[in-house]
Structure 1
Amino acid sequence: MEFTTGGRLTVRITPADVGKRVSVRRLTGSMDGMEKFTDTVGVLTSWDDNVVLITRRTGETVRIAESSLVAGKVVPAAPARRRGPAASFGELARVAARAWQPVEREALGDWELRASGGFTRRANSVLPLGEPGMALDEALRRVRRWYGLRSLPAYIQTATGAEGTQELLCTELEARGWRREVTAELRVGALAPLVDGGPDTDAAPVRLGRSFDEGWLRRYQRFDEPGPHVLEVLGGGPSVWFASVDGDGGVPAAIGRCVVDGRWAGFMAVEVDPDRRRQGLASAVMRALAARALEEGASAAWLQVESDNEAAGALYDGMGFATHHRYHHFRPA
């Protein structure tokens, strides 16, 4: 990483650059007479009281004392991914939202308040794709009141790590006592290789349908009691397909859900019986759903996986999925 100008390190950023992607170097100490430096790249989200805040693509906020800066400059937006279909953050955020349609929604400027009886944060959080049409503090008061009336915690879903994401909003929320509870990755990949890359015969026959049964829900196990709100969220979307592999006792050995939306096919709810893992069932489910999505004209795939789910991450790495951006759910402390 090069900072020199005429042989000198130079700090060429100011508070006026808040909101831009920057690269900085800071002095972090010395050892054996040698100075030690650390480089940080991310969005400059705050510069107040002699403290600089930089938000990395992972959503992590780095606090840097202004006095420790030895170099800094504005850098271009993060380079485009080398794998997977091209897409903007806004396009993917809206596609993902349509795959988890809430039971109830209300607009607050360009923010969408979503509620579904508490089933999945993705359908019970604010999607802030723009400005709320009022001061942030007033918007947050309205958000907390709206969810409070429904006896639900107030969550705001934000994103980091791509052009047009919401690093500034993340910092504003943290400054007001909101805390990040969950971080996940939205990954994208080409659809056809999911079908072509598997073996000639699947690990087990996969049944596809437009609906799900009690056994499918028992394998999903993401709720205490599947009330009407759960059924409505799972069944909602532009073109929804459910997959299952027969198991014991009427409970499938593996399940999956796919929502086809124009050129995109979203994969979710891929679950496998713990006793049947490493038998290729998850791959078989995704392959069958991908084949159906191709028949409907889709060409690109997306999915969401929590950042600490290493097993799922490794599976999707092998399928060619690359991280497009990360999203976070913030909740008042």
Structure 2
Amino acid sequence: MSVRRISEFVDERPVFRDSIGVLTWWDDHGLTVVPRTGEPVSFPERLLVAGKTVPLFPARRAPLPAATPVELQRTAGRGWPAVENEALGAWTLRASAGFTRRANSVQALGDPGLPLPRALDAVRAWYAARGLPAYVEVLTPGSPDDLRAELDRLGARYAPTLVRTAPLAGLTRIGGGHDRVRLARTAGPDWMSVYRRVGADPAVEEAARQVLHGGPSVWFAHVPGAPGQPPLAIGRCVIDGPWACFGAIEVQPHARRAGLATAVMAVLAARAAEEGATGAYLQVEAENAGAIALYDELGFTTSHTYHYALLPQA
């Protein structure tokens, strides 16, 4: 958005200044615009002279950033940081009151510094102490070569997840209705009310807020509903160097098939491009056929598959 404001008065005459960026706040107390570079600009509403929307950032076409599956898994971990982390050799134990498997699993990349049977015993004990199931994030190659065999011996159950990637520039050009999407640095109560992964447990909700707001550069998008009603659609994007991770793309059932999901992704992609990202990635459960079909249409392809292995209780 482009806004013009009175920045000062010289000889009782107003001096105007323009700011172009994302309008992240506007209430009775004032406005905040986050420009492409520099610090956010905040000022009282009484100093606002004019404002208008501007086209999405014209992202340049660029190939996908170079990254191995291990590097992408580590990037994904930074973009969805657990409330509690503890090292076990090169592994990372993660816990967040049970909010999502990604934030409540051990990222088993590299050497745990112990023989695998002892390492997995330590994993089970660590999660049992927190009242959580013990999940192991398994990536081949990336995890120890004989980890899968040891998990099989223990009777682990597996759930596959796809990591899908796409050039970012193409996403900024998808669909329409971009002017309906609003961006913010925080997920407010309305945004959270649409997010389906949070239940009524206050501990889980607090953990969810910490995880959702964690990451190098996080943006939340929503399409407003009718006055007094929750948003029609929401989304989240976290930018980490050349990569932008998309998640929490959700549309209210009565508002589906109207292009809102693609509008949310396009606006988030444009913001990520402004911060220098050139690649997009997301994680989707392998059995989620509807989401996979949507991402196919948007140009995403599968980079790799990893598994969450659920260990039986000791």
Q: Is the TM value for this pair above 0.5?
A: yes
1:331 match: 310
* Structure 1: distance between partners of 2:249 and 2:148: 29
Q: Is structure 2 residue 138 aligned with structure 1 residue 158?
A: yes
| Partner-residue secondary structure (3-state), 1:258 | strand
2:234 match: 255
Is the contact between residue 183 and residue 220 of structure 2 (CA under 8 Å) also seen in structure 1? Answer: yes
1:228-249 CA-partner distances (Å, limit 9, x unpaired): 2111111100000000001244
- Normalising by the residue count of structure 1, what TM-score does the alignment of the two structures yield? 0.71
Is the contact between residue 203 and residue 284 of structure 1 (CA under 8 Å) also seen in structure 2? Answer: yes
Q: How does 1:142-221 map to 2 (within 5 A)?
A: 142-160=122-140, 164=142, 168-180=146-158, 182-196=159-173, 198-199=174-175, 201-202=176-177, 205-221=180-196
C-alpha change, 1:165 and 1:154, in structure 2 (3 Å) is: closer
Moved over 3 A (4+): 83-86, 163-168
The residue identity in structure 1 corresponding to 2:100 is: T
1:1-57 CA-partner distances (Å, limit 9, x unpaired): xxxxxxxxxxxxxxxxxxxxxxxxxxxxxxxxxxxxxxxxxxxxxxxxxxxxxxxxx
* Structure 2: distance between partners of 1:116 and 1:246: 29
The residue identity in structure 2 corresponding to 1:217 is: M
Is the contact between residue 85 and residue 188 of structure 1 (CA under 8 Å) also seen in structure 2? Answer: no
* Structure 2: distance between partners of 1:238 and 1:325: 23
* Paired residues, number: 246
| Partner-residue secondary structure (3-state), 1:172 | helix
Q: Is structure 2 residue 119 aligned with structure 1 residue 139?
A: yes
* Structure 1: distance between partners of 2:306 and 2:210: 24
Is the contact between residue 116 and residue 147 of structure 2 (CA under 8 Å) also seen in structure 1? Answer: no
The residue identity in structure 1 corresponding to 2:89 is: G
The residue identity in structure 2 corresponding to 1:245 is: V
* Structure 2: distance between partners of 1:85 and 1:173: 33
2:198 match: 223
Q: How does 1:34-45 map to 2 (within 5 A)?
A: none
2:5 match: none
C-alpha change, 1:166 and 1:109, in structure 2 (3 Å) is: closer
Is the contact between residue 87 and residue 93 of structure 2 (CA under 8 Å) also seen in structure 1? Answer: yes
* Structure 2: distance between partners of 1:120 and 1:299: 27
* Structure 1: distance between partners of 2:65 and 2:222: 28
1:106 match: 86
Gaps of 5+ in 2: 1-62
Q: CA deviation at 1:164?
A: 4.1
Query: Identity of aligned pairs, percent?
Result: 52
- Normalising by the residue count of structure 2, what TM-score does the alignment of the two structures yield? 0.75
Gaps of 5+ in 1: 1-82
Q: How does 1:1-333 map to 2 (within 5 A)?
A: 84-160=64-140, 164=142, 168-180=146-158, 182-196=159-173, 198-199=174-175, 201-202=176-177, 205-225=180-200, 227-248=205-226, 249-333=228-312
The residue identity in structure 2 corresponding to 1:326 is: T
The residue identity in structure 2 corresponding to 1:231 is: R
1:58-97 CA-partner distances (Å, limit 9, x unpaired): xxxxxxxxxxxxxxxxxxxxxxxxx954420121011100
* Structure 1: distance between partners of 2:187 and 2:229: 13
Q: CA deviation at 1:204?
A: 6.0
Is the contact between residue 84 and residue 321 of structure 1 (CA under 8 Å) also seen in structure 2? Answer: no
Tell me which of the two structures has the higher relative contact order, counting C-alpha pairs closer than 8 angstroms and 6 or more residues apart. 2
Is the contact between residue 203 and residue 279 of structure 1 (CA under 8 Å) also seen in structure 2? Answer: no
Let me know the Cα RMSD of the aligned residues.
Answer: 1.7
* Structure 2: distance between partners of 1:306 and 1:84: 22
C-alpha change, 1:110 and 1:247, in structure 2 (3 Å) is: same
Q: CA deviation at 1:105?
A: 0.7
